[in-house]
Amino acid sequence: MCLTLVSSRVFEELRRRGSGSRHAGGGGEGERSPRRECAMTIGATMKRMIRPTAAAGVTRDPVLFRWTGEFADAALEEKFLRANLNDLRARVRATLYGCYVFVIWGAFDLVTHGPTQLFFLVMTGRLAALLLLVAALKLFRKPGQLNGLFLALTLSQFLVATIAPFSLWWDSTDYSTGIMSIVVVLFAFYVGVPTKLSRNLAASLVLTSGAILVAPALGNYDPATLLQNVLLLIAANAIGVQIVRASNRLRREAYLTMHQQDELNEQLTHEIDVRREAEQAMRASEESFESLFFNAPQPLALVDPRSLEVIQANSAAQVLVGYERDGDGDSKLNVSSFFPNGDVVPSLRMVAESGGRGAGKEVELIRLDGTRIWVAVSVAPVGFKGRRSVLVGLQDVTEKRHQLDTLRQARDMANEASRSKSEFLANMSHELRTPLNAIIGFSEALQNELFGPVGSPRYREYAEDIHDSGVHLLTLINDILDLSKIEAGHFKLHEDEADLNPIVSSALRLVRHRAEKADITLNCVLPDPPLTVVVDERALKQVLINLIANAVKFSHAGSSVTVSAGLRSDSLRISVADRGIGMEADDIPRALAPFSQLDGTLSRSHEGTGLGLPLAKHLTELHGGTLSIESAPDVGTTVHVDLPIECVAHRLDRDTA
């Protein structure tokens, strides 16, 4: 039907144009030749044939499809062919059956012409075409052998295209009948052989050209019939190309649709699996939450932030608020009834709205029996069974608050006792200074015999002992008074520039008499050129006196005490080193505590109140420095006073002075 329609349309066009030419008049340059007229007719007809097909939706996509209807992407085309390998092989088998008919048709040649050499040559071509198809099916079975399969199909097509025209007219078959047979072969090529459209078209052109070229050799043919047959062959090729293009495109679009559907199914399956896993995880999480919630030792409750009703509460929370489950069922509890001051309700609603957290707020809670306790409330937003809830954690801090109150009262009492002690020591020191000054003054008068001889030399010795004891006692009182001021925060430094060397020399001079009595040698190693420091001169001298006196007191007879000073990268270090009894590293903190000595027995061998090192440490820290001790038993002790480098005003350079 398609061929008849095409032929009738072509000849109608020819008749229409021929009549038009006759009516227009003949001759001249405007007269068209029959060949040109034929070409124009064929072109117009083919345009009208192809345009409706394009309008029907078989236009090639410039991005996705080639003009042949195949995928433009080679990798995608390869995937399509691999996916349709079984269909491809089934179409090859159908082509093989057609080739069987093509080979069997050679029997008519044998009957007509006998076993001539030409017959065997043609029969060899028929068998070669058949063997190529058999080889395509048997040898190229795997997806990676598609190129070999298509090559075998193409070679078989070219053999058929070469032999078919010759065999049709070899036995003097009518030319028009042969043309119709060739048209059938052409459609068999396009529809049946599953090779590339370009290869199908090449084989069809070979067959068409052979049919056209063999016509003059037959001798008896009508030009009009020849033209009709030529147009018929061209139309057959055009229709075959459009059929293959449409088929290729439709099959590939179906493949894309199936592929997209498979991807969608996989995605849906994946999403279903993910959702199933999420639901399972959510159920497991809820079960874990409920297990932890009900078995937690800390009181926990789930609260509706809108109504403030308790959704669930674990046993610890029920015990805390004094709730007992009755036989009629659970009675609804409201959070606001436990916190009458309204401290918790705003926090619950704010946490539910903002998604934040609240922790550690201590409020008063009224239990169901009316007793009041203190609890620390922590809140956090949670989702429970699809609705927004607030998890409330409670911790009974009543005992802790009682302990804190007790500790606070004890601290206040200790501070008051410390202030009383400091005031007592200050007052006592002030009251003792007046008689001590009188005792020291009178003993000096007796010692120097200002008002005449005292008689016996023993009185002079007694006066000297009285003077030394008074000075020692006054020194102790001054230390106690200074330490009390420091602890009370009333000790003020009066810093000014002073030379370091005179301060050290003055401290050594005040302790030298005691050192000579103990047979201790005092050494001094000071920086050269001297340093000018910004310190409270009296306080720094007091530090050095205490450290040197302490070193002399704990040194063996015949040993030495060395005072040294020097600059470091970030400090000024003053060190007092002795070779005395020393002490363990664990005893150093005790030695720095006020009123403490390592030998705390009544029969201790070294006098003193234990204020020397603590007072020196406090005075050093008031300057922004540190006091450290290095000591070892029977080796000696070295005390380092490190003052900030900012305390050094400048160096006195002799060369530039």
pLDDT for 25 equals 41
Summarize the confidence of residues 543-558 as an average pLDDT: 91
pLDDT confidence band for 499 (50 / 70 / 90): very high
Summarize the confidence of residues 7-33 as an average pLDDT: 42
Q: 479 with 507, same domain?
A: no
Q: Does any domain span residue 50? A: no
pLDDT confidence band for 605 (50 / 70 / 90): very low
Select from 484, 517, 544 the last residue of a domain.
Answer: 484
Do strands 626-632 and 560-567 pair parallel, antiparallel, or not at all (unpaired)?
Answer: unpaired
Q: Are 321 and 377 in contact (CB under 8 A)?
A: no
Task: Give residue for tokens 């040559």.
Answer: 121
pLDDT for 650 equals 67
Confidence check: pLDDT of 18 > 60: no
Give strand pairing partners of 560: 521
Task: Quick: pLDDT tens for 238-286.
Answer: 777 777 777 778 877 887 888 788 888 888 999 999 999 888 887 887 7
Q: 467 with 512, same domain?
A: no
Select from 467, 484, 501 the last residue of a domain.
Answer: 484
Confidence check: pLDDT of 122 > 90: no
pLDDT for 565 equals 93
Q: Does any domain span residue 21? A: no
pLDDT for 2 equals 40
| CATH at residue 345 | 3.30.450.20
pLDDT for 82 equals 75
**How far is Cα 34 from Cα 327, in angstroms, rounded to an integer?**
113
From 288-302, 326-340, 386-400, the region with the lowest mean pLDDT: 326-340
Confidence check: pLDDT of 62 > 60: no
Q: Which residue has the higher pLDDT, 427 or 32?
A: 427
CA 14 to chain CA centroid, Å, is 78
Summarize the confidence of residues 11-35 as an average pLDDT: 42
**Strand runs labelled E in 465-509:** 496-499
pLDDT confidence band for 32 (50 / 70 / 90): very low
Q: 123 with 241, same domain?
A: yes
Structural domain span for residue 644: 493-651
Q: 192 with 323, same domain?
A: no
The counts of H helices and E strands in the chain are 18, 13
Task: Quick: pLDDT tens for 610-655.
Answer: 678 888 898 999 999 999 999 999 899 999 999 999 998 865 544 4
**How far is Cα 514 from Cα 487, in angstroms, rounded to an integer?**
29
- Of 359, 385, 366, whose CA–CA distance to 304 is shortest? 385
What value, to the nearest 5°, has the Cα angle with vertex 52 and ends 46 and 56?
Answer: 140
Q: Does any domain span residue 168? A: yes
Do strands 372-384 and 387-396 pair parallel, antiparallel, or not at all (unpaired)?
Answer: antiparallel
Q: Does any domain span residue 49? A: no
pLDDT for 359 equals 66
pLDDT for 621 equals 92
Q: 387 with 440, same domain?
A: no
Query: What is the DSSP secondary structure assignment for residue 330, as one 8-state letter?
Result: P
Query: What is the DSSP secondary structure assignment for residue 304, as one 8-state letter?
Result: -
247 Cβ partners below 8 Å, 6+ apart? 69
- Of 566, 568, 571, whose CA–CA distance to 504 is shortest? 566
Q: Which residue has the higher pLDDT, 527 or 332?
A: 527
587 Cβ partners below 8 Å, 6+ apart? 598
From 47-56, 59-68, 350-359, 542-551, the region with the lowest mean pLDDT: 47-56
Give strand pairing partners of 387: 384
From 50-54, 231-235, 446-450, 473-477, the region with the lowest mean pLDDT: 50-54
Q: Which residue has the higher pLDDT, 88 or 581?
A: 581
Q: 373 with 448, same domain?
A: no
Q: Does any domain span residue 291? A: no
Q: Which residue has the higher pLDDT, 300 or 468?
A: 300
From 17-21, 453-457, 476-480, the region with the lowest mean pLDDT: 17-21
CA 42 to chain CA centroid, Å, is 70
pLDDT for 55 equals 38
pLDDT confidence band for 45 (50 / 70 / 90): very low
Summarize the confidence of residues 143-155 as an average pLDDT: 73
**How far is Cα 208 from Cα 230, in angstroms, rounded to an integer?**
8
Q: 254 with 358, same domain?
A: no
Distances (CA, A) of 92 to 121, 191, 642: 25, 11, 102
Q: 310 with 447, same domain?
A: no
Work out the mean pLDDT of the chain and round it to a whole number: 74
Summarize the confidence of residues 544-573 as an average pLDDT: 92
Do strands 372-384 and 358-366 pair parallel, antiparallel, or not at all (unpaired)?
Answer: antiparallel
Select from 484, 510, 528 the last residue of a domain.
Answer: 484
Q: Are 189 and 203 in contact (CB under 8 A)?
A: yes
Q: Does any domain span residue 573? A: yes
The helix/strand/coil state of 305 is: coil
Confidence check: pLDDT of 560 > 90: yes
Confidence check: pLDDT of 107 > 70: yes
- Of 595, 579, 315, 619, whose CA–CA distance to 494 is shortest? 619
Q: Are 534 and 497 in contact (CB under 8 A)?
A: yes
| CATH at residue 525 | 3.30.565.10
pLDDT for 504 equals 93
Q: 118 with 253, same domain?
A: yes
Q: 311 with 451, same domain?
A: no
pLDDT confidence band for 179 (50 / 70 / 90): low
Q: Which residue has the higher pLDDT, 136 or 583?
A: 583
Q: Which residue has the higher pLDDT, 399 or 184?
A: 399
Q: Name the domain count of the chain.
A: 4
| CATH at residue 411 | 1.10.287
The helix/strand/coil state of 366 is: strand
Q: Which residue has the higher pLDDT, 554 or 598?
A: 554
Q: Does any domain span residue 24? A: no
Q: Which residue has the higher pLDDT, 163 or 582?
A: 582
Q: What percent of the chain has pLDDT over 70?
A: 71
Summarize the confidence of residues 283-298 as an average pLDDT: 79
Task: Quick: pLDDT tens for 348-398.
Answer: 777 666 666 666 678 888 888 888 888 888 888 887 777 788 888 888 888
Q: 526 with 475, same domain?
A: no
Q: Which residue has the higher pLDDT, 172 or 216?
A: 216
* pTM for this predicted structure: 0.40
pLDDT for 187 equals 54
Q: Are 564 and 526 in contact (CB under 8 A)?
A: yes
Q: Does any domain span residue 275? A: no
Q: 511 with 434, same domain?
A: no
